[in-house]
Amino acid sequence: MKEYKYKINGNNYTVAVGDIDDNIAQVEVNGVPYKVELEKSKAVKVVSTPRAAAAPRKATGEKVIASKSVPAGPGAVVAPLPGVVISVAVKVGDTVKASDTVVLLEAMKMENSIRAGRDGKVTAVNVSAGDSVLEGAALITLE
């Protein structure tokens, strides 16, 4: 039995809740047993958007992973950890400030805003939404 202590209108009550069968609960209030009928609740349907269980694949069957194949030069904005690209906020030719978010990356069920890190002009976008990237992969290149 779970025991709870309440103070109602200055009076102390010790309430112990025991087994619940169907919609009848065994309850003791200050040592006096009661059978409490619970209101039947309506079934709740939980709707959620399922996440992909595995990495996305190309038409050929190989995994879509942007590896470190794009050289991470001095102007590259790299992935700080492996994850899936949710969105790319810039395109080639855009001018960005150091604090601007350029890519939104999902890693470990958390959304991470990847910032430019320095002022510059976008010369290359190496990823697109839905791509899986490894740590250190060049996401975009700045001039």
User: Which pTM does this prediction carry?
Assistant: 0.52
More confident residue, 53 or 78: 78
Residue 46 has pLDDT above 70, yes or no: no
Q: How confident is the model at residue 1 (pLDDT cuts 50, 70, 90)?
A: confident
Instruction: Report, as an integer, the average pLDDT of 18-24.
Output: 84
Q: Strand pairing of 65-66 and 132-133?
A: parallel
Residue 53 has pLDDT above 60, yes or no: no
Instruction: Report, as an integer, the average pLDDT of 22-34.
Output: 89
Most trustworthy range by pLDDT among 12-21, 34-43, 56-65, 82-91: 82-91
| Contact predicate 26/33, CB 8 Å | yes
Residue 54 has pLDDT above 80, yes or no: no
Instruction: Report, as an integer, the average pLDDT of 95-119.
Output: 92
Residue 2 has pLDDT above 90, yes or no: no
Strand order of the β-sheet with 2-8 is 2-8, 11-21, 24-29, 32-37
